């Protein structure tokens, strides 16, 4: 059976476009005004969609918020993986590439950075989910810590490094860490290199 179209656009494509619009709106609202600003009504109003279209894609506000958060987290993970895979085998070059990729995501698009790093502290739903996603990033970082003792040392170093870097970026985004962006990047690279070359 051929799928019906409207104005040359198939139903599935229109639904996907509406879902994308809702996610974009929730991401922007949460990152600019905080998760408290994300409600079914506010998102529908800004996306110019009715709640009927909202519920065709999401079960409720928390479902939408988690989907927006996961999208940014996936974007961060993909950026880091790509930077490490495509960069020079030299350790310092890989570290700079990974830091630059993450900085480009969370600082050049600060609403994404705030959603990923700040809002989990304000919203319990995001907070719980953020903890569940942590192993994705610690495993990725741990795989680069080839000079850090045994597997236990590497796992602990990866957790410390991910937590420390997240705190630095969060402080910069929140305005409590007032340093030039170049100094922030350089310090993050220094931390990565120190963790990579240290041994327990």
CA atoms within 13 A on the CB side of 33: 11
User: Do 72 and 150 touch, CB atoms closer than 8 A?
Assistant: no
- How confident is the model over 181-191, as a mean pLDDT? 92
Name the band, by pLDDT with cuts 50, 70 and 90, for residue 55: very high
Whole-Å CA distances, 60 to 11, 32, 52, 53, 144: 22, 21, 11, 12, 39
Considering only residues 103 and 91, tell me which one the structure prediction assigns the higher pLDDT.
Answer: 103
Residue 194's pLDDT is what?
85
The token duo for 32 is: 């600019």
Considering only residues 91 and 54, tell me which one the structure prediction assigns the higher pLDDT.
Answer: 54
Residue 112's pLDDT is what?
94
Residue 2's pLDDT is what?
47
Name the band, by pLDDT with cuts 50, 70 and 90, for residue 145: confident
Residue 147's pLDDT is what?
62
Q: What is the 3-state secondary structure (H, E, C) of 120-157?
A: HHHCHHHHHHHHHHHHHHHHHHHCCCCCCCCHHHHHHH
Name the band, by pLDDT with cuts 50, 70 and 90, for residue 56: very high
Whole-Å CA distances, 11 to 49, 57, 135: 16, 13, 37
Considering only residues 50 and 84, tell me which one the structure prediction assigns the higher pLDDT.
Answer: 50
Other beta carbons within 10 angstroms of residue 124's beta carbon come to 11
Considering only residues 31 and 8, tell me which one the structure prediction assigns the higher pLDDT.
Answer: 31
Please tell me the pTM assigned to this model. Answer: 0.86
Query: Angle between the 110-117 and 151-174 helix axes, to the nearest 10 degrees?
Result: 130
Whole-Å CA distances, 168 to 8, 111, 162: 48, 16, 10
> Is 80 exceeded by the pLDDT of residue 146?
no
The token duo for 198 is: 């240290």
- How confident is the model over 181-188, as a mean pLDDT? 93
Residue 200's pLDDT is what?
42
Distance CA 116, CA 79 (A): 14
> Is 60 exceeded by the pLDDT of residue 27?
yes
* Mean pLDDT, all residues of the chain: 88
Residues 134-166 as b or e (16 or more Cβ within 10 Å = b): eeebbebbbebbeebeeeebbbbbbbebbeebb
- How confident is the model over 10-23, as a mean pLDDT? 93
- How confident is the model over 59-86, as a mean pLDDT? 92
> Could you tell me where the beta strands, DSSP code E, fall in the chain?
5-6, 9-10
């Amino acid at each position: 059976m051929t799928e019906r179209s409207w104005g040359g656009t198939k139903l599935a494509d229109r639904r996907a476009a509406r879902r994308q619009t809702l996610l974009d709106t929730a991401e922007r609202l949460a990152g600019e005004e905080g998760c408290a600003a994300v409600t079914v009504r506010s998102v529908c109003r800004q996306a110019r969609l009715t709640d009927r279209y909202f519920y065709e894609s999401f079960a409720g506000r928390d479902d939408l918020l988690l989907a927006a958060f996961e999208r940014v987290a996936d974007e961060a993970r993909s950026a880091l993986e790509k930077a490490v895979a495509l960069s020079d085998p030299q350790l310092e070059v890989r570290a700079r590439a990974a830091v630059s990729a993450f900085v480009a995501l969370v600082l050049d698009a600060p609403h994404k950075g705030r959603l990923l790093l700040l809002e989990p502290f304000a919203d319990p739903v995001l907070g719980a989910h953020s903890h569940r996603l942590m192993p994705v990033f610690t495993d990725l970082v741990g795989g680069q810590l080839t000079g850090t003792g045994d597997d236990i040392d590497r796992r602990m170093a990866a957790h410390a490094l991910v937590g420390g870097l997240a705190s630095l970026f969060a402080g910069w985004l929140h305005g409590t860490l007032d340093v030039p962006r170049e100094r922030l990047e350089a310090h993050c690279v220094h931390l990565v290199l120190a963790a990579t070359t240290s041994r327990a």
